[in-house]
Copies of this chain bind each other. A is one copy, B any other.
Amino acid sequence: VKPLAAGVDLGGTNIATAIVDASGRVRSRDRRPTLAGRGPNAVLARMADSVRSAARVAGLGLRDLAAVGVGSPGPLDPKRGVVLYSENLRWRNVPVAAVLRRALGRRVFLENDANVAALGEAWAGAGRGEPVVLCVTLGTGVGGGLILDGRIYRGAWDVGCEIGHIVVEPGGPPTRYGNRGVLEQYVSATGIVRMAREAGLKPRGGEAVLTARDMMARARSGDPRARRVYREAGRMLGVGLTTAIHLLNPSMVVFAGGVSAAGPLLYGPMRREIARRCFRASLRGLKFRRAALGGDMGAVGAARLAFLGLEGAV
């Protein structure tokens, strides 16, 4: 029998759990609201319930699971299994692995959500078989994960790969961390809304605020200001990836997150910028892909984390 693991993708809004076999196939799923407002203990109890429920759906007991992996917002300490801080969840020093281990009687491995998403795509998604996968999540913010021969690149203290915070315009707008002109300020949903506002765009159709989704619709229907916003986002994405390509020489870049759905609006200007700026040697075999696992990405990656953890390979 193939070993099975549970992967839990903990988000600010939802908990998504999957039971996954060693080949990356999803056997069952559970999805429920996080309800972060109820505090860490309630959320951890909901995570444990979600694992039990997903196991039940697959016709399994907890003892059939080799281990449990968790992807969480960070920063966190993977070795101790503790989320150090999450603004989204309003958590500080929450011992996720210890609590879930007690609740479920299984070993638990913890990793930040961007790394886990990258691991999922590199293992069983768009990056299957690729030696060096850089996964870039274009969501509310911009996150990154680098997977080398199937393992997470962690750097010295588990801080990398923070691609959202690389500098693309040194005199650009200030971030609240003291940096300026970082990738996230241009190509996240938040950044797109900021640029749209600066371009004089207003909410429409009874909406209270500008959204990246609405900007995408307007750009697609030909609104020149909205198109310009995406062109600028794509250009900056190209500048940032040029730097990442020069430093990391990935074989594939995988895009995930809501903004990654923008298509040619975003990827056209990005590709032009990269083609102009990068060495031919680094571009020759380089592939750009959208994430293939959709809503399973985090949970599948978390399950892979559990398998790697059992092998002592995380």
Contact = CB atoms under 8 A, between A and B. Distances in A.
Contacts of A284: 157
A165 B131 contact: no
A244 interface: yes
Nearest to A163: B247
**Copies of this chain, tallied across the complex:** 2
Contact of A157 (B179, B244, B282): B282
Interface string A261-292: 00000000000000011110110111000000
A169 interface: yes
Contact of A155 (B75, B156, B248, B277): B248
Contacts of A250: 155-156
Contact of A242 (B132, B160, B167): B167
A170 interface: yes
A212 to B, nearest CB: 22
Contact of A277 (B180, B246, B276): B180
Interface residues on A, range: 35 or more
Contacts of A167: 168, 239, 242-243, 277
A209 to B, nearest CB: 29
A59 interface: no
A83 to B, nearest CB: 14
B132 A247 contact: no
A251 interface: yes
Given A177-B279, A277-B167, A249 B285 contact: no
Contacts of A179: 242, 276-278
A251 B154 CA distance: 11
A277 B178 contact: yes
A159 interface: yes
Given A157-B285, A170-B239, A285-B157, A165 B249 contact: no
Given A156-B131, A162-B279, A281-B75, A248 B247 contact: yes
Interface string A131-159: 11000000000001010000000111111
